[in-house]
Amino acid sequence: MDYKNLSKWSYINPGKDVKQEYNIRYNNPTTIKTGLFINPVLRGERLSDVRELFVIPIQEILTLQDAIMQNSKKITELRNTLPRIASDQLFNYTLLTEIKSTNDIEDVKTTSEEITEAITNVKNKSRKKTRLNSFVKMYWKINDGENLKISKLEDIREIYDFLLEGEISNDDFPDGKLFRNSFTRIGNDFTTHHVPKINEEDTSIDLMSWIKFVNGNTPFLIKALVSHYFFEYVHPFKDGNGRTGRYIACVYLGYKLDPLTAITLSSEINKNRSKYYKSFLDVENPRNYGEATFFVIDMMKILIKGQKSLLKDLEEKRDMLSYGENLIASYARTDIEKVLLFLHFQSYLFNDYGYGIEDRDLKEYTKEFKNTQVRRTLDELTQEGALELTKKSPKTRRLSVEWFDKLLQN
């Protein structure tokens, strides 16, 4: 018989003692006991019962874990075959989609233009103040393989403050010393799904347990996913919990797997919102006794969906890159045109939302040509419609849509 959650198990085994089955699972030698405790939720109300979250690393989890690791390896290998501009623009585009998605999940309005502007500012280390600058800076660290060090409650608040700088209204700012110290509810206008603890002291106790867990020895994928669940369950802030929780999960996954797998998380969650929310509710169901095994499975499947989509896109664009390079070689009238058009082709192919490439960034790729020759050729290609000017300062261009489509039709 397939392994079922306890609520389903009791349904298909009428007359059998579900508490006995729970004890068998909970006391299994392979069971991972997290030290994280929840109050099950019934019809939006927190019950007085207390259950420890536990996970049994069944065969399905081990199989999914192996698939995630193999996919991550393929993604890294494929990205490493790309020219640098293509690789950088791939990250920028994936990051744009991730930030747009993590905000969409919370119904926070964000435009692609705002995110692109913030990415450009962070890349250039600009001091210009624009919306989402801090948000992008935090995510940018994932590409550098940076890991978070969370050892005290203040670290959580510091992440929250920097990540969501300018994104939280005064009314929704934490009203306790570090966290929320007031009533909040999770749900919609018609249904309450969860009412977290009200008192900041209780929240802080739960978060100290969370910190101990994230710094423990639980296998990293199970740890990342269970800790994501528990952070959302605790709900330490009045606003921004989802964005903060997903960011922390992304950083950890990026450090252990690869940056692109990590920053597809919110995008894939956004495509599977109903499954995502149902997975949370299933853990809190009193009839499941705190088992998080199936939450881990559901989240692993979401992660794999994102990886497969990314791999498919990467493979297709890698093939188009070679195809485009050959077309440009036959189209270009001079060597300098060939180089510049191919650089801009890479940029557009992997990030058609972006501004393109700044003229000054082309220097390291065009060292065999004089600067005056490069500038003159860029201007000629712009006048002819192959390139379009997207920013005047610093001067930035990208391949025009019309020229890109025309090239691929040849």
Residues noted as catalytic: 235
- Is 239 flagged in the annotation as binding? yes
- Is 243 flagged in the annotation as binding? yes
- Is 241 flagged in the annotation as binding? yes
User: What DSSP string runs through 12-76?
Assistant: HSTTS-HHHHHHHHHT-TT-EEEEEEE--EETTEE-S--EEEEE---HHHHHHHHHHHHHHHHHH
- Is 245 flagged in the annotation as binding? yes
- Helix intervals (H) in 110-191: 112-123, 133-143, 153-163
- Is 23 flagged in the annotation as binding? no
CB contact set of 77 (below 8 Å; sequence gap of 6+) = none
For residue 394, cis peptide bond before it (omega within 30 degrees of 0): yes
Amino acid at 249: A
Buried b / exposed e across 53-79, counting CB within 10 Å, b at 16+? bbbbbeebbeebbebbeebbeebeebb
Please name the helix (run of DSSP H) or strand (run of DSSP E) that holds residue 266, with its range, or none. Answer: helix 265-271
- Is 216 flagged in the annotation as binding? no
- Is 246 flagged in the annotation as binding? yes
- Is 331 flagged in the annotation as binding? no
Coil, strand, or helix at residue 388? strand
Angle (CA) 316-321-322 rounded to 5° is 105
Which residue, among 157, 189, 186, has the nearest Cα to 174 in the 3D structure? 157
Residues facing residue 391 across a β-bridge? 396
Please name the helix (run of DSSP H) or strand (run of DSSP E) that holds residue 96, with its range, or none. Answer: helix 84-105
User: What DSSP string runs through 67-92?
Assistant: HHHHHHHHHHHHHHHS-HHHHHHHHH
- Is 217 flagged in the annotation as binding? no
Amino acid at 250: C
Distances (CA, A) of 352 to 49, 94, 112, 263, 357: 52, 11, 11, 18, 12
Angle (CA) 265-109-272 rounded to 5° is 35
Cite the annotated binding site for ATP by residue number. Answer: 239-246, 276-277, 285
Cite the annotated binding site by residue number. Answer: 239-246, 276-277, 285
